Amino acid sequence: MRFEDQRKLLVQELRQQGIRDEAVLAAFSKVPRELYVPPQYKDYAYRNRPLPIGLEQTISQPLMVAIMLEHLELKPEDLVLEIGTGSGYECALLAEIAGEVCSVERLEELSLTAQGVLKEAGYKNIYFRIGDGAQGWLKAYPPHKEFDKIIVSAGASQIPPRLQEQLKPGGILVVPVGAGDYQILTKVIRTENGYSVSEHGACAFVPLISK
């Protein structure tokens, strides 16, 4: 089957699994996942499962990414921080929906590969940093200190304090929290005088590696 048709089936599956945000579904209809997986896995690109991308890392499961993006309640004008660029797939989905995406990856090799694919795809609204994403953005350009939305696509042992500090008031952080192989998908909303935290089920991510 052509990738295009496989992509339509994946979007149908996401709908059946309960994804309702039309902007999220439109982004999944648009971004070719086969471009973000290693050549030997292209035939599996539209299975609803994570796949290896080298260096012991994975491109996340599409349904899990869709659930996280839905929790972010993305708007076209949003400024988004993504921790764990990985393959660049989720980054492309974010760039389709939001205004601007800043993406941090600790492994240089993965970041450079993703940067190549995303530039080739024509995205002009993505900025990259190589380093520890748990510390936030920290780059002079663009000089952002706070974000509307922050997504962490690796499992953190606790809610990263520096990341919740980089939320704008009303901003949303989605992060898998847990010390082992499994985590709890956690949503943090910055309120006027603090943070409101809610939990949204179990998930399994590679660990967020941070000092």
Q: Cite the active site residues.
A: 60
Q: Smallest Cα–Cα separation from 188: which of 199, 172, 200? A: 172
Q: Smallest Cα–Cα separation from 91: which of 63, 59, 56? A: 59
Q: Which is nearer to ligand SAH, 87 or 166 (CB)?
A: 87
Site map (CB under 6 A) of ligand SAH, residues 141-170, x = contact: ------------xx----------------
Residue linked to tokens 């304090």 = 161
Q: Which is nearer to ligand SAH, 93 or 192 (CB)?
A: 93
Residue ranges in 74-93 that form contacts with ligand SAH under rule CB under 6 A: 83-84, 86-87, 89-90
Residue ranges in 88-117 that form contacts with ligand SAH under rule CB under 6 A: 89-90, 104-107, 110
Residues found near ligand SAH in the complex (CB under 6 A):
57-60, 83-84, 86-87, 89-90, 104-107, 110, 132-134, 153-154, 206, 208-210
